[in-house]
Amino acid sequence: QVQLVQSGAEVKKPGASVKVSCKASGYTFTSYDINWVRQATGQGLEWMGWMNPNSGNTGYAQKFQGRVTMTRNTSISTAYMELSSLRSEDTAVYYCARVWGESFDYWGQGTLVTVSS
């Protein structure tokens, strides 16, 4: 069965960077784009960007341009999202999601990133 398993919770200080992983299983990793979506506590879903695991091509939301980097390691079917220059407003649950058509059919369980001094 398709699974996306994310890395564990992180606590970071303002100005630091965080790298969240998303390990895919149950399907061919390079056949489906991976997107990243975040959700602050009590808030809605916010799209961050996409990555094509086959080519490595990426596209980022304007809000995160210059601060986010999405990469992958195809040998271990894992996608990564790194966010730099963290601030308190980046405290949120970060999700990876598999693209199917124009929707997201499978999601990771989420990774809580807390930014606090």
Assess 94 for contact with another protein (CB under 8 A).
no
Tokens 């809605």 identify what position? 44
The verdict on 26 binding another protein (CB under 8 A) reads no
Cβ contact 24:7 at 8 Å: no
62 sits near another protein (criterion: CB under 8 A) = yes
Phi, psi of 30 (to 5 degrees): -80, 0
Could you tell me the CA-to-CA distances from 100 to 8, 69, 72, 97, 107 in Å, in that order? Answer: 25, 22, 19, 9, 11
Kindly state whether residue 105 participates in binding another protein, applying the rule CB under 8 A. Answer: yes
β-pair type (68-73, 78-83): antiparallel
**Choice from 9, 45, 87, 116 touching another protein (CB under 8 A):** 45
Binding window for another protein (CB under 8 A); candidates: 21-29, 71-79, 80-88, 95-103: 95-103
Choose between 62 and 117: whose C-beta lies nearer to another protein.
62
27 is a contact residue toward another protein (CB under 8 A): no
Check binding of 104 to another protein (CB under 8 A). Answer: yes
